[in-house]
Structure 1
Amino acid sequence: MADATPPFDDVLPEALRFRSPAPLVDIGANLTHESFARDLEATITRARAAGVTTLILTGTDREHAEQAVGLARRHPGLYATAGVHPHDASQWSPSLAAAMRELHREPEVVAVGECGLDFNRNFSTPAEQERALEAQLGLAAESGLPLFLHERDAGRRMREMLHAWRDDISRAVVHCFTADRETLYGYRDLDLHIGLTGWLCDERRGHHLRELVGEIPLERLMVETDCPYLLPRNLPAKLKGRRHEPALLPWIVREIAHWRGLTEAELARATTATALAFFGLDMNHNAHHALEEGPRHG
């Protein structure tokens, strides 16, 4: 039985081949996930065709952070984060801390994380999670890199820990924000950035976000797919395999823009300018060269 990569048309039907009116930054793409192994190059090509010119690849542990750095070295417009997800916080050790410190020195790494607190599933105990987060807050202060944060059902404790470090760390984004108004305003008071995903497109769970989206300062808002997870439920066509990918980010931007009362172009330009400044990237390189160059090898 043939094991060929699906053709472009077979992966994204015509109705899902969006094109953003302005370049976009996907601040959370898990392209080291095994589901992208067979068609990674095509996935990146589709993203660029959709106007998603910059991808921040999420490093949730040492292995995936190293893989993300490798991908970023080969492809213009791709960058990496390096951290330990709260689910894996029980693995934190002095040797892992040393490995993360080395990764944070790599030019492709633009943020510390994904790190944070997840009291929803507690794959690691809350105490283990707090220990790993505290250590990574220290690494962020030491490196000067921004923070890429995960929080689920732990808003109050997260705010307490961040408050203690706020003067020592540079910038921080709570990615895939899904919490309530109180938590949002607590993050606003800490001058944090907010990342929004296709959760907003979920008619079952996303209604409260539609009401809150206008209360996120535009200069603090960024957009992401969190692919392959969180495929928007209201896409205009079915997608085989239900795997989310960066090429679908324009749909999320369109939804957010609608609920904010902005045009898609206005939201695209604003979130891209914010993301490039947040991660310390050069807009001209990402908006133009990523579309023109082929993959780098080495």
Structure 2
Amino acid sequence: MNTYIDIGINLTNKQFHDDIDDVVQNALDADVAQMILTGTSVKNSEASARMAREYPGVLYATAGIHPHDAKSFDAQSIAKLRDLLKQKQVVSVGECGLDFDRDFSPRNVQETCYKAQLELAIEVQKPLFLHERAAFTRFLSITKEYLPQLPKAVVHCFTGSLQEAKTYLDNGLLLGFTGAISDTRRFEHLKEVLQYVPLESMMIETDAPFMLPKNVPNSLLKKYHERRCEPAYLPYVAGTVAQFKGISLDKVAEQTTKNARAFFAI
């Protein structure tokens, strides 16, 4: 039997408020054995940690401030994240990084917030869950300053170019892939990226309720939810990886699960 780990879900999102137990059970029924809730602000990270505590050994959480929320960063933020990271179910620093696509927070504030979280990851020696959109050059330049001391790091929901993927891998970062890889109209280039990236350097995620894979059958959408992505759909992300790489689904499941267990120490 294949086992999967979803390294990024947004289970505190309001779309899940009414049926969290069902969503977790749907995932378990689909052989998604463990899921990691993404923390996007101090408040959201606290909520994610509380929720993960209710499903021991199944749900885990990250603690961090997303670049969109960098404007909420204040003098108490790092201390609060540090406290969360002492909890055993909180396994990673993030989601943190830079987003120059939407600029929901000023760029200089994003950079200050990101650097503070890089320093926190070095201090607590927990891996990093990273976000980069339309900010590759600046993101890499900041990250490289800390690389010699940094613990492991994954650039989640990777949709960048092949050259960007190569640069991240050359710098020792892992890449996380979502259902975006099955969107051959918007992200056709990701087939070439996936063919290049070694299986040992990737993990898979749904980013639920976002990034609904295009290859989820309609019957399953009707059974669960018409438009909402769920962690139960992770095998369809794995299936696209297997298809693009010309390897078995079993191999993708086995290696990405092994990667996630080692990365997050779960």
Instruction: Give the conservation status (yes or no) of the 8 Å contact 2:182–2:214.
Output: yes
Structure 1 residue identity aligned to 2:229: H
Structure 2 residue identity aligned to 1:247: A
Structure 2 residue identity aligned to 1:275: A
Structure 1 residue identity aligned to 2:81: M
Of the two, which has the highest radius of gyration? Answer: 1
Match of 1:59 among 24, 34, 39: 39
Counterpart secondary structure, 2:175 = strand
Counterpart secondary structure, 2:76 = helix
Instruction: Give the conservation status (yes or no) of the 8 Å contact 1:83–1:100.
Output: yes
Instruction: Kindly provide the CA deviation profile for residues 55-93 of structure 1, in whole angstroms up to 9, marking residues without a partner as x.
Output: 011010112111111111111311000000000111111
Match of 2:24 among 44, 59, 63: 44
Superposed displacement of residue 158, structure 1:
1.2
1:29 aligns with 2:29: no
Tell me the equivalent position of 2:157: 176
Tell me the equivalent position of 1:156: 137
Higher relative contact order (CA 8 A, sep 6+): 1
Counterpart secondary structure, 1:94 = coil
Structure 2-normalised TM-score? 0.96
1:257 and 1:234 mapped to 2: Cα distance?
13
2:43 and 2:111 mapped to 1: Cα distance?
21
Match of 1:265 among 237, 246, 250: 250
Counterpart secondary structure, 1:242 = coil
1:156 and 1:186 mapped to 2: Cα distance?
11
Structure 2 residue identity aligned to 1:204: R
Tell me the equivalent position of 1:123: 104
Unaligned runs of 5+ in 2: none
1:233 aligns with 2:214: yes
Match of 1:133 among 97, 109, 114: 114
Superposed displacement of residue 184, structure 1:
0.8
Counterpart secondary structure, 1:55 = strand
Instruction: Give the conservation status (yes or no) of the 8 Å contact 2:162–2:192.
Output: no
For structure 1, which segment, 45-54 or 156-165, has the greater mean C-alpha deviation from structure 2 after superposition? 156-165
Superposed displacement of residue 135, structure 1:
0.4
Match of 1:69 among 43, 49, 54: 49
Tell me the equivalent position of 1:207: 188
1:196 aligns with 2:181: no
Identity %: 43
Superposed displacement of residue 233, structure 1:
2.4
1:64 and 1:227 mapped to 2: Cα distance?
15
Instruction: Give the conservation status (yes or no) of the 8 Å contact 1:147–1:171.
Output: yes
Aligned length: 261
Superposed displacement of residue 123, structure 1:
0.4
Tell me the equivalent position of 1:113: 94
Instruction: Give the conservation status (yes or no) of the 8 Å contact 1:156–1:183.
Output: no
Instruction: Give the conservation status (yes or no) of the 8 Å contact 2:178–2:206.
Output: yes
2:12 and 2:43 mapped to 1: Cα distance?
9
Unaligned runs of 5+ in 1: 1-20, 282-298
Superposed displacement of residue 121, structure 1:
0.4
Structural RMSD (CA)? 1.0
Counterpart secondary structure, 1:151 = strand
2:85 and 2:264 mapped to 1: Cα distance?
13
1:246 aligns with 2:231: yes
1:101 aligns with 2:82: yes
